[in-house]
Amino acid sequence: MSFTVFLGNLPTWVTADDIKQWLAAEDLVADSVKVIRNHETQESKGFAFVEAPTADEMQSIIRRFDRAPLEDRLLRANPAQPPKGKEVRGTAAQTAPVAAPGINRTQIRPDRRKRGGKQREQTPRSAFAAELAKVL
């Protein structure tokens, strides 16, 4: 089981070593610390994930760092959520029916529209558009 803490609203200069030092100064334990960085610039995105060994340790990290002041900001610490769009063990996404080979989803559920939203109106929306449509 994972006990991951989301640590947000960090200044861009904060490194994983800084966070490890803060944890050690508070007698808190973390299995790993990962500061999330921009792939192109390698600059911190302002948040990190701290992997705690136990649920109690995770709660201690959250209590210590949530709303803790750092420079001109307040840090945020809370249990990390699974990434959106990723399958998580035992979720409905994993148990959803899968189409047989050669059959697309619209054949299974013809009532569902393809992406793109509403159908465009065939009639012009304004008097000007109506006159323009007559000319063209």
Average pLDDT, the chain: 79
pLDDT band for 79, please (50, 70, 90 cuts): very high
Mean pLDDT of 70-91: 81
DSSP string, 71-134: TTEE-EEEEPPPPTTS--TTSHHHHS--PPTT--HHHH-TTSPPSS-SPPPSS-SSHHHHHHHH
Residue 7 has pLDDT above 90, yes or no: yes
Mean pLDDT of 23-27: 95
Mean pLDDT of 33-52: 95
Residue 103 has pLDDT above 60, yes or no: no
The pLDDT of residue 93? 46
Give residue 114's region: left, alpha or beta (phi > 0; psi -120 to 50).
beta
Residue 70's beta-bridge partner residues? 73
Mean pLDDT of 75-99: 68
Mean pLDDT of 24-35: 95
The pLDDT of residue 90? 53
Region 3-79: CATH code:
3.30.70.330
